[in-house]
Amino acid sequence: MINEELQKHITECEKKYGPAPSLEVLNQWIGEFMQKLNNTGLPQFEGYSSTEMFAIIHGLWNENSPVQMRELSEEDFNAIPLFCQIKYITDVLHREGKIKLTSTKAIPPKFVKEMYELGVRDWMIEEGYSKLRKEGDSQSVVLTHILLKLMKIIKEQKGVMTFTKSGEMIAKNNQKLFEELLMTFTNKFNFAYFDGYENESIGGMASGFSFILLSKYGIEKRSYKFYAEKYFKAFPDLLKGFDSNYSTIKEQGARCFSLRTFERFMLHFGLIEFEETKHPENEIYITKSQLFDKIIQVIPPKDDK
């Protein structure tokens, strides 16, 4: 298809300018064609071009990315579960100067219980199947600890957590702290950390595209499968590595995408309303929260501007 379009472009150039007088001119015509191709909106990318998608994948939050962060109010910060947990630890460090970790280098239980109340609840704990005794009992608390280290807000030496020099300064400004948190999650954190799916790229790759999908379609309550279908339409190679032993490849891919993108990412940032049903069938419905548009700005494709 591309070869046919390229030949058509060259033929049009020859009609307009005559046969290419040199290889340099021919390469120029080819370059013009490729530039136009790369800047043409594609349906599988929701109208974004390959160039724009490259920016979404490899330069999320950069100035040329279609996805940007907005300035938040103090009220908005308080509505973000994961930020509240991060802020809890930084507040303790500002107040006490250090946190003495347990023998397993975990956050002490007295802080874990208070942190847990600020974050996304663990259904196993809420239903009484497990008890909250230590950091490892709560996924959100474990996540908070990991991110604090990835953000380089803290350092840990000889079983004691303290601020880094840059981390102490960042933690004094809620906007900077939040921006560092969201950038770290989307650019450095391994979305596959808490599960056993072999494909580690799903969800984490092109997480900015998931923002675009929620921004465009999230006002209506939709099944997670709707978003997964669009995600894998854009990136079909990510379905490789699944087998069909107990369910279809698409079903496994959709569940993996939903688990990582919605339950373990956007829910922790307060970006979605999450509804799970048991009857008449197991289903998960997603709606973007009121907070979503306060946090995320999505710039339309160039062809739509």
Q: pLDDT tens, 75-91?
A: 999 999 999 999 999 99
Q: Are residues 11 and 87 in the same domain?
A: no
The whole-model pTM stands at: 0.87
Going by pLDDT thresholds of 50, 70 and 90, the confidence category of residue 17 is: confident
Q: Which 3 state secondary structure label does DSSP give 225?
A: helix
User: What pLDDT shows up at residue 240?
Assistant: 85
Both 280 and 183 in a single domain? no
In a domain, 110, yes or no: yes
The answer to whether the bond into 19 is cis (omega within 30° of 0) is no
Listed residue (136, 264, 149) closest to 197, CA to CA: 264
Task: Work out the pLDDT band at 2, boundaries 50, 70, 90.
Answer: low
Contacts of 146 (CB under 8 A, 6+ apart): 189, 193
The boundaries of the domain holding residue 43 are: 2-69
* 292 and 238 in a common domain: yes
* Structural domain count of the chain: 3
- The CA distance from 248 to 232, in Å, is 14
Q: Is residue 128 part of a domain?
A: yes
Q: What is the pLDDT of residue 171?
A: 97
Give the per-residue pLDDT at 244: 67
Residues 18-60 have pLDDT tens digits of: 776 666 655 564 566 566 656 778 899 999 998 999 999 999 9
pLDDT digits (tens, 9 = 90+) for 262-291: 999 999 999 999 998 877 678 999 999 999
